[in-house]
Copies of this chain bind each other. A is one copy, B any other.
Amino acid sequence: MTQSAQQMFDRHRKTLDQAVEAISSRDFWTPYPENMKKYPEDAVKGAPSRFETLLNQPFTLKAVASTRQVGGEVSPYGFDLGITYDQPDSEALIAAMQKAMPAWRDAGAEARVGVCLEILARLNAMSPDIAQAVMHTSGQGPMMAFQAGGPHAQDRGLEAVTYAWQAMAQIPATAKWVKPQGKHDPLVLDKRYHIVPRGVSLVVACSTFPTWNTYPGLFASLATGNPVILKPHPGAILPLAMTARVAQDVLEEAGFDPCLVSLVPDSVEAPMTKTLALDPAVKLIDFTGSNAFGDWLVQNATQAQVFAEKAGINTVIIDSVDNLKAVTMNLAFSLSLYSGQMCTTSQAIYVPKSGIETAEGHLSFDDVTAALSKAIDKFLSDNDRACAVLGAIQSPATEARIDECRGLGEILLDSEPREHAQFPNARIHTPLLLKVDAEQKAAYSEERFGPISFVVATEDTRHSIDLAREVILEKGAITLGAYTTDDTVAEQFEQLAMDVAAPLSLNMDGGVFVNQSAAFSDFHATGGNPAANASLCDQAFVASRFVVVQSRRHGQPD
């Protein structure tokens, strides 16, 4: 049975209202549980076998005429997916999207938001399936693939819809403008205001977080009226193909052209992104990936507004701690989680070479590095837990980088391969931890994507702060962690965070980690340093995705 977009909106209205409240209060909130046990047992247990039925055959979507088939995904856990996808003709697709756009625009904000919320609800219900697709493309461990690929990604999508709704709701549909004219009759104009989309929106996804980093742009653009092309990374197509299928189903059920959300997969050999990005019809681009390509987009796709999440030198500064063991356990988890392949993983850890003060007295620099190495080592001593937390290395290039970086400093803890009980061919490697001097800036101030981190020996905390400022202003950072027991130093960290526009996590020594960011409360990246030019999500992320077109005509006073 088909349902109207209005019914969808009405059904999800309460969720939307709660989300509006959440982005204002910024307390913890989510409609999508991260606890797998809250999902039907059958859905969870049957996911691996449902995943297997997708392998080694075409995955079809509603699309305009396709020109070729692409595929070639390889699970980082060590097997070919063997799935093929249609690659639609991009010119025909863009023409079809432009034709479909006015009806989507004229449907209004409630209808569009209703469709988006229904898509998200259905994606939530299939989180176990999405998790399989995310795990076997990104290499994430099962728990992370479920949480970050499923509910947390849906949170970020809902957050984007919420900001879009709030921005659109600020524009009244009509107004009566009555200008007094002294003794004469007033001038009266009846005005109408329309939300008008920018044009075709291109969302360029990455291989490590194919849904989490993609849903914000997808839903922000779609809710504000723009057709969306999903351009997956050639190594992680399936999660977005599944997403596009859900979106197309919901759009069609609500009476809209399903091409409004379309997948354009490509291959490493014949990439499509530059062609799509430079198309004059493409007015919005969301990108997650390398600095080089993000900067290329900003400099070349000047017909479009580009929202780019790139990379930076994520930083931790240790000044002093209460409990070094708690701190190093926290950092050990941060550095191990998904083998450092998060855009939020710390790379440079600044520690004074004279050591630090703790509640148990002064500890030397070597004490600190030894404690950190030991904490990682111990945390990963159980191989099953290690494999679950580390996940697999997404690309051979990242695997190779571990070797390439071994010579960049003194090895505090060497990276070692691990064997997965279920997937013996999985690319699994523990973190490499290096010691460098502050002067070895070339080593630690280039992004070394993967499980590679540096403990940087500095003169003192002032020096650490100065180095961090210099490096982040030049290279950017998505996260900044810092540890101190001194309120004055804490205030210096707060100032540093503002000066370099990086969010500060202070004294994380428990169950929250610098590389985690919660929708509705944490702004992921700020957009204010070279690591990203946009934040997930804030008003700026949605406000320029639509324009307001008004009309006015003479009217009568009320």
Contacts and interface: CB of A to CB of B under 8 A. Distances in A.
Interface of A: 24-28, 102, 105-106, 167, 170, 172, 175-181, 187, 189, 191-194, 196, 198, 298-299, 302, 493-495, 497-499, 501-512, 518, 521-523, 526-528, 535, 538-540, 543-544, 547-554
Which has the most chain B C-beta neighbours within 10 Å: A172, A508, A509, A539?
A539
Pick from A102, A298, A509, A518 the residue with the most CB of B within 10 Å.
Answer: A518
Contacts of A198: 528
10 contacts: A26-B172, A27-B177, A28-B179, A187-B510, A189-B512, A501-B547, A503-B551, A506-B551, A507-B553, A540-B544
A243 B133 CA distance: 59
A510 B556 CA distance: 13
Contacts of A548: 523, 526, 535, 538
Nearest to A174: B26
B177 A518 contact: yes
B554 A512 contact: yes
A553 B508 CA distance: 7
B191 A26 contact: yes
B175 A26 contact: yes
In the complex, which of the residues A505, A522, A552 has the most CB atoms of chain B within 10 Å of its own CB atom? A552
Contacts of A498: 102, 105-106, 194, 196, 549
Contacts of A549: 497-498, 501-504, 526, 528
A216 to B, nearest CB: 15
A167 B299 contact: no
A557 to B, nearest CB: 11
A548 B509 CA distance: 24
A538 B540 CA distance: 11
Nearest to A500: B549
Q: Is the interface of A mostly helix, strand, loop or mixed?
A: mixed
Contact of A523 (B167, B299, B302, B550): B550
Given A508-B554, A509-B554, 18 more contacts: A25-B175, A27-B176, A28-B178, A28-B179, A106-B498, A177-B518, A181-B511, A187-B510, A191-B521, A196-B526, A493-B551, A498-B549, A503-B549, A503-B551, A504-B552, A506-B552, A526-B547, A540-B540
A187 B26 contact: no
A170 to B, nearest CB: 7
A175 B521 contact: yes
Contact of A528 (B179, B196, B526): B196
Given A196-B498, A298-B302, A511-B187, A528 B552 contact: no
Given A27-B178, A194-B498, A544 B547 contact: no
The 7 residue pairs across chains A and B that have the minimum distance between CB atoms: A528-B547, A504-B551, A26-B175, A540-B543, A506-B553, A543-B543, A540-B544
Contacts of A509: 554
Contacts of A507: 553-554
Contacts of A540: 540, 543-544, 547
Contacts of A499: 102
Contacts of A494: 192, 551
A106 B497 CA distance: 13
Contacts of A521: 175, 177, 191
A178 B540 CA distance: 26
B552 A177 contact: no
A506 to B, nearest CB: 4
